[in-house]
C-alpha cells in the first residue's frame, strides 16, 4: 500500500468524520485514580481522599478501556484511517476543562477527525499525522472538557528503510 | 499539614514552581502501564520499540500529562482550577532517564471573574534537555473576589 498511498483520498474520506456519543464503560472510580496518582507519586488529597477526578483522567473514564475492545474508542478510530504504517506515536496534546468530574459521575465522549497530513519524520518519510478532537461530557451532557490530540502513524524501521 | 492557599495576588511573573524528578526505572514503566491502562507495546516491550526505530521503551502521553497535572495542581492548591494544559512530545523520555518536571509563571491576567495565571511547564531529560515543552492556565482564588 505504501507506493499507492494517496493522502488526498484519505483526507477527503476522513477529515470531518465524527463518532456518536459513547458512554464510558464504568463511572469515575477511586481505584484507577489511585493507580494513576501512584505512577507519578502524586499525593494530592483532592484525588486520593476527596473523590475529585484528576482533570487529565476525564477521557480515561469517558472511554471503554482496553478490554474488551470497543470500536468507537479513539485508537480504534485512528486504526480505521488508511496509512502506510501501523506504528503509533503521540506528538502533542491540548486539554481545556470546563467542569470538575467526581467519583460516581458517568462520562461520555465523541471524537472527530480534524486533519490528516502526510509529513516526513526521522522515523519514516511516509509518516501520517492525524489530528483529532474529543469532547467529554457528563451524565447531563454538560461539557467537562475538550481535547485535541496529534498522533503520528509510521512504518516499522525496516519497512521505512526500504523506501 | 496543608500548604496555605496560593492567591492570584501572590503570583509574580517569573516565579518558579516547585518541580520534582522521577527516575524512569522498570518498575516506574510498569506503574505507567498500570496507571494509564495503555498496553501499546512501545511503552513496555524494548524489542517492539527498537523495531519501530526508537532507542528503547519510553513513557506515554498519559504519564506525561499526569506529571504535568501534578506539577500544576500541587502549585494551584485546593481552590485552584486547572483550565488548560497543552504540551508537545518532541523527543521521548526513555527507560533509565531521570526526568525533571519543571515550571514557571509566564503571566497573569483577569479572565472575567477568574484570576488566571499562565504557566510555562516542561519535562527535561539528561539526553535532550527540554523534550516536552508545554503551557498551562490555572485559575486561582483572589483575596478581593
Q: What is the 3-state secondary structure (H, E, C) of chain B?
A: CCCCCCCHHHCCCCCECCCEEEECCHHHHHHHHHHHCCCCHHHCCHHHHHHCCCCCCECCHHHHHHHHHHHHHHHHCCCCEEEEEEEECCCCCECCCEEEEEEEEEEEEEECCEEEEEEEEEEEECCCEEEEEEEEEEEECCCCC
Please report the sign of the dihedral spanned by the C-alpha atoms of residue B101, residue A134, residue A106, residue A102.
positive
Q: Inform me whether the pLDDT recorded for B1 exceeds 60.
A: no
The pLDDT confidence band at residue B130, using thresholds 50, 70 and 90, is very high
> What is the nearest CA distance from A18 to chain B, expressed in angstroms?
23
Chain A residues closer than 8 Å to B71 by CB: none
Instruction: Write the ipTM.
Output: 0.96
* Ordered mean pLDDT values, 10 residues apiece, chain A (163 residues): 81 97 97 98 98 98 91 90 96 97 98 97 95 98 98 93 82
Q: Work out the end-to-end distance of chain A between its first and last CA atoms, rounded to an integer number of angstroms.
A: 12
Whether residue A128 is contained in a domain is answered as yes
Distance CA B20, CA B17 (A): 9
B112 is written with which cell numbers?
472575567
Whether residue A113 is contained in a domain is answered as yes
Percent of chain B past pLDDT 70, that is, above it, reads 98
Prediction pTM value: 0.96
- Per-residue confidence (pLDDT) for residue A137, from 0 to 100: 98
Whether residue A30 is contained in a domain is answered as yes
Whether residue A2 is contained in a domain is answered as no
What's A134's domain CATH number?
Answer: 3.10.129.10
Helix (H, G, I), strand (E, B) or coil at A99: coil
- Per-residue confidence (pLDDT) for residue B3, from 0 to 100: 73
- Per-residue confidence (pLDDT) for residue A71, from 0 to 100: 81
| Candidates B61, B88, B137, partner chain A, best to mutate (most A CBs within 10 A) | B61
Q: Does B22 touch chain A (CB under 8 A)?
A: yes
- Of B103, B100, B23, B39, the closest CA to residue A39 belongs to B23
Q: Do the chains contact at A40 and B66, CB–CB below 8 Å? A: yes
Q: Considering CB atoms only, which of A39, A89, A94 is closest to B31?
A: A39
Number of domains in chain A: 1
The pLDDT confidence band at residue B145, using thresholds 50, 70 and 90, is low
Q: Do the chains contact at B65 and A38, CB–CB below 8 Å? A: no
> What is the nearest CA distance from A101 to chain B, expressed in angstroms?
12
Whether residue A1 is contained in a domain is answered as no
How much is the mean pLDDT over chain B?
A: 96
Chain B residues closer than 8 Å to A97 by CB: 81-84
User: What CATH number labels B8-140?
Assistant: 3.10.129.10
How many A×B Cβ pairs under 8 Å? 115
Domain of residue A136, residue span: 7-161
- Per-residue confidence (pLDDT) for residue A3, from 0 to 100: 57
- pLDDT per residue as tens digits for the range B85-117: 999 999 999 999 999 999 999 999 999 999 999
Reported as half-sphere exposure (CB side, CA atoms, 13 A), residue B98 has a value of 3
Amino acid at each position: 500500500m505504501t507506493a499507492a498511498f494517496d493522502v488526498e483520498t484519505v483526507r477527503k474520506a476522513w477529515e470531518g468524520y465524527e463518532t456518536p456519543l459513547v458512554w464510558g464503560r464504568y463511572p469515575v472510580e477511586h481505584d484507577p485514580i489511585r493507580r494513576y496518582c501512584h505512577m507519578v507519586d502524586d499525593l494530592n488529597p483532592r484525588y486520593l481522599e476527596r473523590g475529585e477526578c484528576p482533570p487529565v483522567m476525564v477521557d480515561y473514564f469517558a472511554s471503554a478501556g482496553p478490554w474488551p475492545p470497543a470500536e468507537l474508542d479513539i485508537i480504534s478510530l485512528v486504526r480505521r484511517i488508511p496509512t502506510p504504517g501501523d506504528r503509533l506515536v503521540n506528538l502533542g496534546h491540548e486539554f481545556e476543562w470546563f467542569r470538575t468530574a467526581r467519583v460516581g459521575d458517568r462520562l461520555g465522549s465523541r471524537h472527530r477527525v480534524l486533519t490528516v497530513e502526510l509529513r516526513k519524520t526521522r522515523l519514516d518519510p511516509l509518516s501520517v499525522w492525524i489530528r483529532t478532537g474529543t469532547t467529554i461530557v457528563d451524565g447531563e451532557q454538560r461539557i467537562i472538557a475538550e481535547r485535541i490530540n496529534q498522533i503520528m502513524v509510521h512504518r516499522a524501521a525496516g519497512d521505512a528503510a526500504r523506501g | 499539614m496543608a500548604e496555605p492557599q496560593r492567591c492570584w495576588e501572590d503570583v509574580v511573573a517569573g516565579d518558579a514552581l516547585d518541580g520534582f524528578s522521577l527516575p524512569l526505572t522498570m518498575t516506574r514503566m510498569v506503574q505507567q502501564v498500570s496507571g494509564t491502562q495503555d498496553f501499546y507495546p512501545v511503552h513496555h516491550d524494548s524489542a517492539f520499540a527498537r523495531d519501530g526505530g526508537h532507542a528503547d521503551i519510553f513513557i506515554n502521553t498519559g504519564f506525561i500529562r499526569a506529571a504535568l497535572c501534578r506539577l500544576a495542581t500541587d502549585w494551584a492548591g485546593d481552590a485552584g482550577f486547572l483550565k488548560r494544559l497543552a504540551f508537545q512530545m518532541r523527543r521521548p523520555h526513555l527507560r533509565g532517564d531521570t526526568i525533571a518536571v519543571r515550571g514557571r509563571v509566564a503571566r497573569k491576567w483577569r479572565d472575567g471573574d477568574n484570576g488566571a495565571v499562565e504557566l510555562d511547564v516542561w519535562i527535561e531529560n539528561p539526553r535532550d534537555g527540554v523534550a516536552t515543552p508545554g503551557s498551562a492556565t490555572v485559575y486561582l482564588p483572589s483575596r478581593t473576589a
